[in-house]
Structure 1
Amino acid sequence: MTNFVFILADDLGYADLGCYGGRAAAISPALDRMAAEGMRFTRSYSNSPVCSPTRFALITGRYQYRLRGAAEEPLTGKYRGSTTVGLPPEHPTLPSLLKTAGYQTALIGKWHLGYPPHFSPRKSGYDHHFGPLSGGVSYFTHLDRGGNADLVEDGEPADHQGAYLTDLLSDRAVQYIEQRAADRAPFLLSLHYTAPHWPWETRNGRAEPPITGPTLGHLHGGSIHVYHQMVRELDEGIGRVLDALDAAGLGDDTLVVFTSDNGGERFSDNWPLVGGKMDLTEGGIRVPCIARWPKTIAAGGVSEQHHLTMDWMATMLAAANVAPAADFPLDGVALQPALADAGHGFARPMHWRMNHRQQRALRDGRWKYLKVDEHEYLFDVETDERERANQGRLQPERLASMRAAWESWDHAMQPIPVDAGVSLVYGSADMPQR
Structure 2
Amino acid sequence: MNRLLALLCLTFVAVAASAADKPNIIFILCDDLGTGDVKCLNPEGKIATPHMDRLAKEGMIFTDAHSGSSVCTPTRYGVMTGRYAWRSKLQSGVLGGLSPRLIEQGRLTVASMLKGLGYSTHCVGKWHLGMDWVRKGDVTELGIESEGQVNNVDYTQPITNGPTSVGFDTYFGISASLDMVPYCFIENDRVPATPTETMKLAMNGSGGKMSFTREGPGSPGFRGEDVLPSFTKRALKIIDEKSAGAKKGAPFFIYMPLNSPHTPILPSEKWQGKSGLSLYADFVMETDDAIGQIMRATEEAGIAKDTLIIVTSDNGCSPQANFPELIAKGHNPSGVMRGHKADIFDGGHRVPFIARWPAKVKGGQTTGQLTCLTDFTATAAEIVGVKLPDNAAEDSFSFLPVLLGESGKATRQSIIHHSINGSFALREGAWKLELCAGSGGWSDPRPGSPGEKGLPNTQLYNLESDIAEKTNVQDKNPEIVAKMTAQLEKIVANGRSTPGTPQQNAVEVVLRKPTPIAKAKKKAK
Q: Which TM-score band applies after superposition, normalised by the shorter structure? A: 0.7 to 0.9
Match of 2:472 in 1: 390
Match of 2:239 in 1: 177
Q: How far, CA to CA, are the matches of 1:354 and 1:29 in structure 2? A: 31
Match of 1:336 in 2: 400
The verdict on how the C-alpha distance between 1:56 and 1:145 changes in structure 2, with shifts beyond 3 A counting, is closer
Pair 1:41-2:62 in alignment: yes
AA of the residue aligned to 1:145: M
SS of residue paired to 2:63? strand
Aligned residue-pair number: 390
AA of the residue aligned to 1:274: R
Match of 1:191 among 249, 256, 266: 256
Shift of 1:412: 3.1
Match of 2:138 in 1: none
Q: How far, CA to CA, are the matches of 1:93 and 1:320 in structure 2? A: 15
The answer (yes or no) to whether the contact 2:341–2:347 under 8 Å persists in 1 is yes
Q: How far, CA to CA, are the matches of 2:409 and 2:312 in structure 1? A: 20
The answer (yes or no) to whether the contact 2:425–2:432 under 8 Å persists in 1 is yes
The verdict on how the C-alpha distance between 1:321 and 1:343 changes in structure 2, with shifts beyond 3 A counting, is closer
Q: How far, CA to CA, are the matches of 1:366 and 1:233 in structure 2? A: 35
Match of 2:307 in 1: 254
The answer (yes or no) to whether the contact 1:324–1:330 under 8 Å persists in 2 is no
Match of 2:51 in 1: 30
Pair 1:122-2:164 in alignment: yes
**Which segment drifts farther, 183-192 or 373-382?**
373-382
Shift of 1:393: 1.6
The verdict on how the C-alpha distance between 1:385 and 1:58 changes in structure 2, with shifts beyond 3 A counting, is same
Q: CA RMSD in A?
A: 2.4
Match of 1:431 in 2: none
The answer (yes or no) to whether the contact 1:86–1:119 under 8 Å persists in 2 is no
Question: Equivalent residues in 2 for 1:27-426 (5 A)?
Answer: 27-68=48-89, 70-77=90-97, 79=99, 82=100, 85-116=101-132, 117-134=159-176, 136-137=177-178, 145-146=180-181, 148-159=182-193, 161-162=222-223, 164-184=226-246, 185-204=250-269, 225-266=278-319, 267=321, 269-341=333-405, 346=410, 347-354=412-419, 356=421, 359-373=423-437, 375-413=457-495, 414=505, 415=507
- TM superposition score normalised by structure 1: 0.84
SS of residue paired to 1:76? coil
SS of residue paired to 2:265? coil
Shift of 1:31: 0.3
**Which segment drifts farther, 379-388 or 266-275?**
266-275
The verdict on how the C-alpha distance between 1:206 and 1:31 changes in structure 2, with shifts beyond 3 A counting, is closer
Shift of 1:71: 2.7
- TM superposition score normalised by structure 2: 0.70
SS of residue paired to 1:20? coil
Query: Per-residue CA shift, 1:50-98, capped at 9, x if unaligned?
Result: 0110111110112222222x3341112463xx4xx52124211101011
Match of 1:425 in 2: none
Shift of 1:205: 8.5
The verdict on how the C-alpha distance between 1:161 and 1:150 changes in structure 2, with shifts beyond 3 A counting, is closer
Shift of 1:355: 6.0
5+ residue gaps in structure 2? Answer: 1-21, 133-158, 194-220, 322-331, 438-455, 496-504, 514-525
Q: How far, CA to CA, are the matches of 2:408 and 2:45 in structure 1? A: 31
Shift of 1:330: 3.3
Match of 1:11 in 2: 32
**Which segment drifts farther, 160-169 or 243-252?**
160-169
AA of the residue aligned to 2:308: L
SS of residue paired to 1:191? strand
Shift of 1:183: 2.8
Shift of 1:270: 0.2
SS of residue paired to 2:35? coil
The answer (yes or no) to whether the contact 1:113–1:119 under 8 Å persists in 2 is no
Shift of 1:328: 2.2
The answer (yes or no) to whether the contact 1:42–1:304 under 8 Å persists in 2 is yes
Shift of 1:329: 4.9
**Which segment drifts farther, 155-164 or 4-13?**
155-164
Shift of 1:164: 1.4
Query: Per-residue CA shift, 1:150-172, capped at 9, x if unaligned?
Result: 31111111357346111111111
Q: How far, CA to CA, are the matches of 2:385 and 2:409 in structure 1? A: 22
**Which segment drifts farther, 288-297 or 333-342?**
333-342
Query: Per-residue CA shift, 1:98-138, capped at 9, x if unaligned?
Result: 1111000000101111122442000000000000011x21x
AA of the residue aligned to 2:231: L
Shift of 1:416: 5.2
Q: How far, CA to CA, are the matches of 1:417 and 1:401 in structure 2? A: 19
The verdict on how the C-alpha distance between 1:154 and 1:359 changes in structure 2, with shifts beyond 3 A counting, is same
AA of the residue aligned to 1:166: L
SS of residue paired to 2:466? coil
Give identity over the alignment, percent: 31
AA of the residue aligned to 1:86: L
